[in-house]
């Protein structure tokens, strides 16, 4: 608002205020229009190809955090990644949502890689390391609280920042372990060399770091005995 000549306050917008007040969804649609035109100019056949179907090589399992957009992080484009995201990139063997995504990606899309991505400054991790009652989300975070309890002595000995990073690491490893116990994933790993990856994304630098998830053959064989199923 600007002062009027009679000393009162005018409600007429100042120069530039219309742009500043533009609805965020309207801005998003404008940017979509600009993006698709530019991409169509650079790759004229891309949208036609995408309209015929998809054949991604990567299934990305990550956090719903707005700072972790998988296609942008990897420098890829539409059609390159099939993804599943939830709060704190949690995988449990009884979640029908993630199980459906995994089955479709592995059995039907025939992805070659599954990436589980955790990230720094994760709100879900911070919540699980705290003791504030949050409501419904407390149920979702229960697997993280179990991880916290199982590693309490080690975690309690760490400074706050390192404690959070260690929980991110433990959570990614646990989710990879859940994948390794999934019969559909196990079959694909044997039959066509499906590869699993655990990574951590640093939201403060944009850097992606891969964890060493290699296992002894004895552990692999014990898992097969316990979890592998056959028709």
The CATH number of the domain holding residue 123 is: 3.40.1050.10
Query: What mean pLDDT is reported for the chain?
Result: 92
Please give the span between the terminal C-alpha atoms of the chain, in angstroms, as a whole number: 72
Residue 1 confidence (pLDDT): 46
Nearest 5 degrees, angle CA 182-CA 188-CA 194?
A: 105
Residue corresponding to tokens 């589980």: 116
Is the pTM for the entire model greater than 0.85? yes
Handedness of CA 111, 115, 116, 119 (dihedral sign): negative
Higher pLDDT, 113 or 22: 113
* Active-site residue, 63 included: yes
Residue 5 confidence (pLDDT): 47
- The one catalytic residue in 122, 148, 163, 174 is 122
Handedness of CA 163, 166, 168, 174 (dihedral sign): negative
Query: How many structural domains is the chain composed of?
Result: 2
**Domain match, 175 and 215 both:** yes
**Domain match, 109 and 184 both:** yes
**Domain match, 74 and 170 both:** yes
Nearest 5 degrees, angle CA 100-CA 196-CA 219?
A: 105
Share of the chain above pLDDT 70, in %: 91
What does the pLDDT average to over 146-154?
A: 97
Half-sphere exposure of 118 (CA within 13 A, CB side): 28
- The one catalytic residue in 65, 68, 84, 117 is 65
* Active-site residue, 119 included: yes
Residue 143 confidence (pLDDT): 97
Whole-angstrom Cα distance, residue 187 to residue 107? 10
**Domain match, 81 and 191 both:** yes
- The one catalytic residue in 68, 117, 119, 163 is 119
For 56, 78, 94, the CA distances from 53, given in Å and listed in that order, are: 10, 11, 29
Please report how the helices 142-150 and 160-180 are oriented relative to each other, as an axis angle in degrees rounded to 10.
110
| pLDDT of 18 higher than 60 | no
Express each pLDDT in 24-71 by its tens digit.
Answer: 999 999 999 999 999 999 999 999 999 999 999 999 999 999 999 999
**Domain match, 115 and 26 both:** no
Per the structure, the complete domain to which residue 31 belongs is given by 1-53
Closest among 136, 138, 129 to 171, alpha carbons compared: 129
The tokens of 51 are what?
């309209």
């Amino acid at each position: 608002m600007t002062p009027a000549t009679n000393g009162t306050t005018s409600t007429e917008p100042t120069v530039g205020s219309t742009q500043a007040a533009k609805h965020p969804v309207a801005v998003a649609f404008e940017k979509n229009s600009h993006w698709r035109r530019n991409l169509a100019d650079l790759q004229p056949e891309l949208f036609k190809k995408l309209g015929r179907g998809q054949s991604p090589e990567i299934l990305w399992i990550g956090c719903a955090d707005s700072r972790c957009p998988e296609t942008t992080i990897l420098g890829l484009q539409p059609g390159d990644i099939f993804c599943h995201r939830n709060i704190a990139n949690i995988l449990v063997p009884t979640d029908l949502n993630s199980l459906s995504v995994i089955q479709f990606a592995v059995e039907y899309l025939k992805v070659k890689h599954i990436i589980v991505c955790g990230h720094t400054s994760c709100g879900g991790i911070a919540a699980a390391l705290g003791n504030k009652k949050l409501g419904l989300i407390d149920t979702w975070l229960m697997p993280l609280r179990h991880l916290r309890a199982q590693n309490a002595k080690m975690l309690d000995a760490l400074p706050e920042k390192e404690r959070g990073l260690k929980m991110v690491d433990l959570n990614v490893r646990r989710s990879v372990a859940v994948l390794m116990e999934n019969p559909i994933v196990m079959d694909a790993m044997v039959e066509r060399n499906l590869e699993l990856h655990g990574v951590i994304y640093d939201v403060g630098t944009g850097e992606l770091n891969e964890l060493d998830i290699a296992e002894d053959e004895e552990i692999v064989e014990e898992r097969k005995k316990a979890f592998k199923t056959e028709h």
